[in-house]
Amino acid sequence: MDIRLRAEEIERRVLAPHACFSGATKGRLKPEAECIVRTAFQRDRDRIIHSKSFRRLKHKTQVFTIPEGDHYRTRLTHTLEVAQIARTIARALRLNEDLTEAIALGHDLGHTPFGHAGEEALNEVFEPGFKHNEQSLRVVDVLEGGGGLNLTFEVRDGILNHTGPVRPATLEGQIVKIADRVAYINHDIDDALRGGVLTREQLPVECLTVLGYEHRERINNMVLDLIYTNWDNAEGIVMSPAFQVATDRLREFLFEYVYIGSEAKREEAKARHVVKRLFRHFQENEGFLPGEYLKRTESNDTRRAICDYIAGMTDRYAIKVYQKYFLPVPWVE
């Protein structure tokens, strides 16, 4: 029995007509035999979960740089929250939950150490420029496992366009793009309150009146709004006008009070210095690159290989490498 074919048939009978069906995928970069059990999107999800890049997310900054507390979000917990929110919306709208989950789990694989501070630092020193969504696509296409994960077009498109001006080609990818924002706005408020960066009294009342006053209430209301607004909508995933305005205003508030110049960001200058110094060090001493990256310098731009190496580092590994090259080692008798 070909279980995959049965799963594809269930999709055709159960999902909405405008869902993205795994049996109709536009395919992979390199042709390969189908799995007899899993659909194409289920297979992509599993490949992402089992990747080293996915495991490294647990030690990469979300907002608080190298957080000491056990309850602050990391890039991995952020990813899991995005996946949960996106799956709930996709299931309710009868869209492809497996595709949605695969995109959500892979969307931040290319994120740098130290969060957006590391991304900005690499963007400054890597001449072609650096964007984490483009690096996420590079991870799944080229870097992971030495030759990429060979994912489907639909997952790759969702990963690349989860941020930026381009709308994902599938409704499932569009769900992830909005779920990413729903997740980080709410969990960054939660972390900022926990860390004493914000007080509840500072939160803009005009936004809370629309979205909700408590963390769980806001997420629930935003998810319900997305479900009701997009019921039987085949044109594109959007928030209702009132929720969109309130969400945008709340995001602006976070930039003003948390993301730029707050106590949560006090270590960012040091983080940027670490990333930039490591980049310049390996430019001057490419022979110090690990073997797999050094091998890439033979056929690719050395700067690209250095960028790949640093972008893949966790916070603590970046600090460890920095200490190795730039801090004195105590003398031991």
How does residue 1 score in pLDDT terms, banded at 50, 70 and 90? Answer: low
Q: Which pLDDT belongs to residue 297?
A: 81
Q: Which of 192, 194, 105, 193 is nearest to 151 (CA)?
A: 105
Q: Which pLDDT belongs to residue 82?
A: 98
Q: What value does the mean pLDDT of the chain take?
A: 95
Residue pair 35/142 in contact (Cβ under 8 Å)? The answer is: no
pLDDT at residue 300 greater than cutoff 80: no
Q: Which pLDDT belongs to residue 240?
A: 98
3-state helix, strand and coil shares in percent for the chain, rounded to the nearest 5: 65, 0, 35
Q: What would the mean pLDDT of 102-126 be, rounded to a whole number? A: 97
- Percent of the chain having pLDDT more than 70? 99
Task: Please state, in angstroms and as integers, the Cα–Cα distance from residue 234 to each residue in 16, 83, 95, 172, following that order.
Answer: 9, 21, 10, 11
Residue pair 239/229 in contact (Cβ under 8 Å)? The answer is: yes
Residue pair 158/107 in contact (Cβ under 8 Å)? The answer is: yes
Residue pair 286/310 in contact (Cβ under 8 Å)? The answer is: no
Element containing residue 271 per DSSP (H, E) = helix 268-284
Place of tokens 């319900």: 224
| CB neighbours of residue 137 within 10 Å | 24
Distance CA 176, CA 100 (A): 7
Residue pair 113/313 in contact (Cβ under 8 Å)? The answer is: yes
Per residue in 236-295, pLDDT tens?
999 999 999 999 999 999 999 998 877 767 889 999 999 999 999 999 999 999 998 988
Query: If you ran DSSP here, which 8-state letter would residue 96 be given?
Result: -
Per residue in 40-87, pLDDT tens?
999 999 999 999 999 999 999 988 877 777 889 999 999 999 999 999
Q: Which of 115, 77, 79 is nearest to 267 (CA)?
A: 115
- Percent of the chain having pLDDT more than 90? 88
pLDDT at residue 181 greater than cutoff 90: yes
Per residue in 17-35, pLDDT tens?
999 999 999 999 999 999 9
Q: Is the pTM of this model over 0.85?
A: yes
Place of tokens 């495991």: 55
